[in-house]
Amino acid sequence: MTIQTGGRIVASTDFSDAETAWRIGDADAVLTYLEQQQKIVLGGDVLTEELTHTYDSWYDCAVPGRNHADAVRDSVARARTYLSDYMNANGKAFYVIFVVV
């Protein structure tokens, strides 16, 4: 799968029939795209360069009564924070799978 955002084309790697993995260094561009598409990021999984699970992940819980635009913005912000902290601690030799609705 490829996406275009901010004048940049970002490509993913197929992980399974239903999942696609993105280089963690491209996560900010992917999150910008998801935000533009009004997708809520429910969480994600971090994979090694060999596409094996690290068992590192995050999740976001829906807040009843929160409007969709706020839910999109807040979920993308939490994903950005988690992935930025992860890269600062572990480097960029990883992939990420996003769970979105």
pTM score > 0.75 for this model?
yes
**How big is the chain, counted in residues?**
101
Report which of residues 15 and 61 the model is more confident about: 61
pLDDT of residue 62: 75
> pLDDT tens, 55-91?
999 998 878 888 999 999 999 999 999 999 999 999 9
The DSSP call for residue 99 is E
- pLDDT, residue 51, reads 94
What are the C-alpha distances in Å from 99 to residues 40, 42, 50, 88? 8, 5, 20, 22
The pLDDT confidence band at residue 17, using thresholds 50, 70 and 90, is confident
- Tens-digit pLDDT profile for residues 28-60: 999 999 999 999 999 999 999 999 999 999 998
**Please, what are the domains in the chain?**
2-100 (3.30.190)
pLDDT at 8 over 90: no
Check: CB of residue 12 under 8 Å from CB of residue 1.
yes
